[in-house]
Structure 1
Amino acid sequence: MVAKMKCPAKKRRAPLIFLSALLVLSALFVWGVHNMGPILVSMAEARARQLAVEAMNQAIAEVLGSSVTYADLMRVSIDQQGRVSMIEANAMRMNDLASEAALAAQRNLDTLADQGVRLPLGAALGISLFSGSGPSIRVRVIPVGAVSTRFVTSFESAGINQTRHEISLEASVVMRIVIPTGADSVSVNTYVPVAESIIVGTVPDTYVNVPSAEDALNLVP
């Protein structure tokens, strides 16, 4: 007579216990993501700003590098008394460089969008001990529209009869942040110094600074 083989009860319960634990963990994960949504959005915004600024700064550095000088961008006119009478922008050169930098920055941001960003769920607890622990959440960071760039200038005193003229390139873009619980947009701006010059001599009392690269920067004594 053949005895019947009986499976231990705990063997039959093992898959059920595992499935129940998996369901509980999944529910806790969904609950945690939902309740910590605002914190995750804030973290994602900060991370998106950081990465977008790095991407745009890298692009500007690659395009401009150290080869662009003040003389490449500005022409300084001196009057008969040796005073600076006008600073004229080299509009064609500046527009070309701004366009190249914008395209390079767009490529970097598109690469960032393809890769995405991962945030550890433990970081949303606000406890340093768990800042790098727990499952990670993938955050999509997508540029909205094209990167815009423009040159900006500033004047500041550099001593007696000396004025520092600094030229920077501003890059800006709107980034769309998408997380499992929602989405948000953030504006990102960065300024990268490009060139500067010390204007020596009689300093005009008033500067008429026209921000467009197509116009001259007139110095009115």
Structure 2
Amino acid sequence: MFRRRINYYPYLLITLIFIIICIFLIIDYKLNASIIEIAKAKAQTTVVQDINTVVNQEIVSQIKYQDIVDIHKDKEDRIVLIQPNTIVLNRMMAATSFEVAKSLDNLSAENIEIPLGQITGSKILAGYGPLMKARIITVGQVYVDVLNKFEEAGINQTRHLIYFNISSKVKIAVPFLNEEINVSTTIPLAETIIIGEVPETYVSVSDDKVPIYPFIKK
């Protein structure tokens, strides 16, 4: 009698299907990772540009250094104290937070378009292929901090810069995927050149006196 031959075909077919599924899952995972990273990068750029535009147009363009900083001098015209106008700054911070939040809400109604060719990582194909749409959704509050910096600007000259650090959180939504990212940008508000000796202390926004000289950078 002849021994019955074992039919390996079903086993090979199952193995092949399993391998194909694994390959598909790996490709799908890598594609999803690429899509979300590209969407995050585009969203970061879009949001930062939007914040910079609205703040420069609505806030910075209407402010001068003298509006937000009081410089006190002695009888010999020497600067003895640099003090920010906290009332004006707080008003500006509130207006900035409102304008940025409103702008981000308007941005949520728009879509970011990503050419699928960009997912391949090829510079040649980056601008080609069907467009995938991603949405930017505001999920966090807008935070505004006042920062300042003193730096040497020449012989016996010191530059004083005041700027806003603005941060928020947004969600990037693409088909079947979404992820939250933190977005922040720094926007110069005003600056001036202090000629001569600078005072030893600077009154911060919180009304605390802090030494100026550690802030001065060469």
TM range (shorter): 0.7 to 0.9
Q: Which amino acid aligns with 1:64?
A: I
Aligned AA (2:107): L
- How much does 1:69 deviate? 0.7
For the residues of structure 2 that align with 1:165 and 1:216, how far apart are their CA atoms? 18
Cα deviation 1:153-175 (Å, max 9, x = unaligned):
11000112211001112211111
Within 1, Cα distance between the matches of 2:54 and 2:78? 37
User: Which residue of structure 2 aligns with residue 6 of structure 1?
Assistant: none
Q: Secondary structure at the match of 1:130?
A: coil
Quick one: structure 1 residues 149 and 37, their matched pair in 2 at CA, closer, same or farther if it must change by over 3 Å? same
Aligned to 1:92: 87
Q: Name 1:68's counterpart in structure 2.
A: 63
Aligned 8 A contact 1:153 1:166 in 2 = yes
**Structure 1 unmatched ranges of 5 or more:** 1-29
Give the aligned CA root-mean-square deviation in angstroms.
Answer: 2.5
The 2-side partners of 1:217 and 1:74 are apart by 14
Shift of 1:33: 5.9
Kept in 2: contact 1:161–1:200 (CA 8 A): yes
- Secondary structure of the corresponding residue to residue 203 of structure 1: coil
Q: Which moved more, 1:63-72 or 1:48-57?
A: 63-72
Of 207, 214, 217, which aligns to 1:215? 207
Could you say which residue in structure 2 is the equivalent of 1:118? 113
Answer whether contact 1:141 1:177 (CA < 8 A) is retained: yes
Partner of 1:78: 73
Q: How does 1:160-175 map to 2 (within 5 A)?
A: 160-175=155-170
Measured after TM superposition, the shift of residue 117 of structure 1 is 1.3
Letter in 1 for 2:53: Q
> How many residues align structurally?
190
Q: Identity rate of aligned residues, in percent?
A: 28
5+ residue gaps, structure 2, are 1-24, 214-218
* TM-score for the superposition, normalised by structure 2: 0.77
1:195 to 2:190 alignment: yes
2:45 to 34, 46, 50: 50
2: distance between equivalents of 1:33 and 1:127? 18
**Pairing 1:103–2:98 present:** yes
Query: Contact between 1:63 and 1:97, CA under 8 Å: does it hold in 2?
Result: no
**Counterpart contact for 1:86–1:218, Cα < 8 Å:** no
**2-structure distance, mates of 1:172, 1:53:** 9
Sort the Cα spacing of 1:117 and 1:220 in 2 relative to 1 into closer, same or farther, 3 A. Answer: closer
CA shift for structure 1 position 67: 2.8
Partner Cα distance (1:207, 1:46) in 2? 41
Does structure 1 residue 138 correspond to structure 2 residue 130? no
